[in-house]
Structure formats: C-alpha cells, structure tokens
Structure 1
C-alpha cells in the first residue's frame, strides 16, 4: 500500500501528462525492475521514443497490480511488464477495459526458477507437494506456469505464499517458506547471496514460449490517443527486436534500472523478447488460465490488441 501511495502521489499531480496525441505527447509508464521491462529502457536510451516524437516518463513500481488503480484513473498511461493474468482477470471482471499495446516477454529456460536453500531436503519437483512456495502474486502467472510444469511431471501442488520479489531472499533465508519461485534479476541475486540451488526450471515445458507480460493501457486511452499509442508500440517493438537480436543490449541495460550488478547481468537467464504480438500465443495463455480456473470464459486476445 505504501508503494501504491507513492506511485499515486508521483503521478497524481496534474494527471499523467498524456493529454494530446502524436508528436510531442508525453506518456507516463509504470514499470517493474525486471528483465521484462528491458525493451522500455532500450527504447528510452537509444532514442526510439524520441524518434517517434514521444516524451516518456518512467515510474518504477514493485508489482504491476500496484499500478492498476493508477492506470484506471488515468494517472499512468501504460504499465510495462504488466502481468497478463492479473490484467485479463481485471478485464473479465469488468474492473478495467484493457488493451495490449505490445507484447513484453515470453517464457524462456531459467528466466525464472524455483529456488531452495543449499541444504534443503527438497530434491525434486515432487517434493514440493504441500510445501510453502513464495510467489509475487497469488493465482497469477507464477502459479499458473509452475502448476502446469508440476502437472506434466505428475507432481503434487505446493501451498503458495504471496511475497514481493525483493523480500523473497530474506524469506527463504529465515525459513518463512520452503522455496521461492522467482524471476530474474532476483533469481540470480538469491542464488549468489544465499548459494540457493535451482529445484525447478520455471521456463521448462510445457510453458516455454508462453507470453507472460506486456505493455498494457486502457481502451479509453487507446481511443483518445491512437497516434501516441501506435508510436509507443512501434518504439517498443523496435527495442524488442534489438533485445531479441542482441541479448548484450539487455545485459548492458539491466544495471541501470534493476538491482543487479554488471557482473550478474552477464549471466542471468533472459526471457524471450518478441518483435511482434502473436494473438495465437496469447490464446494459448488464456486457454491455460481457463483450465486452471483463472478465467471463467474464453477471451479472444485479438479484440484486445491495439493495431
């Protein structure tokens, strides 16, 4: 709640500044300090937003769900690294009429892992049954993907505990949980600081290449600012193409906005950065959500994409 209050205070005075459309428009973006957000910072630092005539202001936030009220109120224009599960659920419930400007990242091997202490008695995925596992948000992309992996391996489900990524290391060290399901760059940081070991590759089959986050706005904003929305999408897709073709660009960017050293950035597991949004892959995500009860009815992702 404190983080949300800070976000609203930072963005609330005078609105987001996103009034107007096209050249010279200002876009306020709430972003998590994750590898998911790399294209946003590449676009900023390589002048891709400037090339499109945009002025982009980035507001850090620890959980994408924290920025949801600010997005609804127009205090931010876009949420980067927006966890699709959270926002698709909000859409289905009628809490927020979302639109996807651009795809963020897709699952790749070891971009997230289930970590346990080095001396943990847990040795295989099957050992997680009934154990306490930390996730950033309950009933979300981490639980969705890990449940799918465990189901394929015939393993039973754990008991999930909601703990923000920055607090997962201390929680694991103090024994508050048996394992943490954590994304980069926190993944590598916990392995380095605690000598934690990988129990489950969170990017393994059957969830590899599954879209998990994107750049999300509201239908209202997309309708009122079509030129700005299109320009923002072009800049992000150009940056994602750079990230895909040259992973070193991501590794150079990470220390600038995430709590990761240059040395750590050289070895962390990166997600996949798609140059364009694929409705078919998004449909695969919504089908998995329905299977696990996170959506009550089918959602056609194509209707949510900003052209």
Structure 2
C-alpha cells in the first residue's frame, strides 16, 4: 500500500460516525491502515487542509464540494457518509413565537450554521413551496450550539437546526418545529461524504480502496444497527448516551450513488449556487483500473 497511516478530518457530529465505528471494530486495521481522526471545524474549512496535505481525507458536505468544484477545485468524492431523513433538519421557532407556517417567515430573520450552504438551500426549497423566495427572509450565520439562546434573546425569528440541537432546544427552551426542511424537493437529500484531492486519489489508489472498503463496512453496520451509532457518539461528540438514544438521525448509505448526488447539484443550479450544470459522475473518484 502507498500509505499506511492517514489523517482524516471529521466533525464532532453524528454524520461521520462510521469513521469511529471502523476504528473501534478494527476494520481499518484489517485493511492494513492506521487512521488518525482529526477534529475539523467545517467541511469547507477542511478544503485548504486536504490541499496542503495536512489531512489526507476529510468529511465534507456536498453543497460545499460542488461549489468548490464549480470554482475549479480538483477534489473528488470517495465515499458516502450521511443522507437526510425525516425531522433531522428542521426550521424551529421559540414556543411563544407568532410564526405558525413557513409563509409567516416573510420579512423574518432565519439562522443557519453556514451561509450559502446546505441550510440555506434546504430552507430556500421550503420557502419556494410556500410561495416565497430566499429574498423574502434574512439569513444570518450562527453555530448550531449558539442558536437556541440567540433565538430566545430575539436575535433571530427562527433557526435551521439539526440534531442533537433539535432535541436540546425542545427540552431546554420548548422550541417547536415549524417545518422539516428535508421534504418535497429535498426529501432524502444527500448531506455529507468523504473527500480527497484528485492528486491524492491518483497517487494512493490502494490506500483509497482500503479506506473505502473499511468505511463501507462500517456504514452497513451503522445503517443496520442504531445501537452501534448510539454507543459511538459519546466517544467523539458532546452527545451523551441518553441524548444519543433519543435523537432523530438520517441514514448512512454504503455506496456513492451519482444519480442521488446529482439531485443536490441540480437543486444548486436551480437556486443559483452553481453558475452552470455539474455532472456529478465527474466528481466521484473512479476505482483503480475502473
């Protein structure tokens, strides 16, 4: 193998749980790999780190990835990670908020964790269904852990919130869900995957294949047994065992499917995140010799 020890960037959230499952179950070791997980602050922030070689591979979200590819970055998707499920990405409001529907967001302020990314795209699709556009609301950026208090103190009218913060804000502040943003156009939207630079995938095909086999095995385990996820979350996130057992999770696909991911790129084109159409097949790393 070209490289036996690799540094892999991951966020302390449920999405990359398979990295830690594969580590704990010895799947990487079986493939002759030593994986060193590195905590990152965001998929977009990890891009310079894979470009510089500080990281070999990293978690990314598909919106960031396709924006980067659209801007000419040579990055490849190497494995799937996380796909939306019902009630895992919700627009939430304070319990006493006068806002009763998505249409009521007109003229309001909505918090998202990152501007021009998955959150704004998902909210915009819901606004469209309610007869509004993204110009009818003001998006502001706020990290997920800080959204609850910011909404309570009146800094925003609503927030696009994911787990474990949906559960936390329901129990701490009595927040209610205004809308599940992963319905209609965005139902089962692919959210996150693993990326490498094109150069890295060409230089390390065997290392890449070993990582892909181990992570796919872990994804299959995660998707077939929720208990495996629940046991792992407290080891690398701030999610305790009690919360891990009650939060709503998306799904963990074990293979990268170009037709599913194409949906993300097409939505991005429709809403102006991409200037021209993107063929997702061209972004997926092809297996060596394939």
TM-score normalised per structure 2: 0.93
Paired residues of 2:62 and 2:192 also in contact (CA < 8 A): yes
Paired residues of 1:135 and 1:162 also in contact (CA < 8 A): yes
Rounded to whole Å, the distance in 1 between the matches of 2:30 and 2:108 is: 50
Q: How many residues align?
A: 284
What does residue 34 of structure 2 align with?
55
Partner of residue 125 from structure 2, selected from 135, 148, 153: 148
Q: Shift in Å at residue 156 of structure 1?
A: 4.8
Note if 1:69 corresponds to 2:83: no
Note if 1:102 corresponds to 2:60: no
3-state secondary structure, aligned to 1:103:
strand
What does residue 83 of structure 1 align with?
61
Partner of residue 113 from structure 1, selected from 90, 98, 103: 90
Partner of residue 204 from structure 2, selected from 216, 222, 225: 225
Higher RCO (C-alpha 8 Å, min separation 6):
2
Note if 1:126 corresponds to 2:100: no
Unaligned 5+ segments in structure 1 are 1-19
Paired residues of 1:132 and 1:177 also in contact (CA < 8 A): yes
Rounded to whole Å, the distance in 1 between the matches of 2:265 and 2:223 is: 24
Q: Shift in Å at residue 155 of structure 1?
A: 4.2
Paired residues of 2:81 and 2:254 also in contact (CA < 8 A): no
What does residue 8 of structure 1 align with?
none
Note if 1:280 corresponds to 2:252: no
What does residue 296 of structure 1 align with?
275
3-state secondary structure, aligned to 2:185:
coil
Paired residues of 1:135 and 1:180 also in contact (CA < 8 A): yes
Note if 1:262 corresponds to 2:237: no
Paired residues of 2:115 and 2:139 also in contact (CA < 8 A): yes
Q: Shift in Å at residue 204 of structure 1?
A: 2.1
What does residue 180 of structure 1 align with?
159
What does residue 178 of structure 2 align with?
199
Rounded to whole Å, the distance in 2 between the matches of 1:191 and 1:45 is: 32
Note if 1:21 corresponds to 2:8: no
Paired residues of 1:126 and 1:156 also in contact (CA < 8 A): no
3-state secondary structure, aligned to 2:184:
coil
3-state secondary structure, aligned to 1:206:
helix
Hey, which bits of structure 1, 4+ residues long, moved more than 6 A? none
3-state secondary structure, aligned to 1:149:
helix
3-state secondary structure, aligned to 2:179:
strand
CA deviations over 1:67-107 (Å, ceiling 9, x no partner): 22111111111112x1111121111112x211011011111
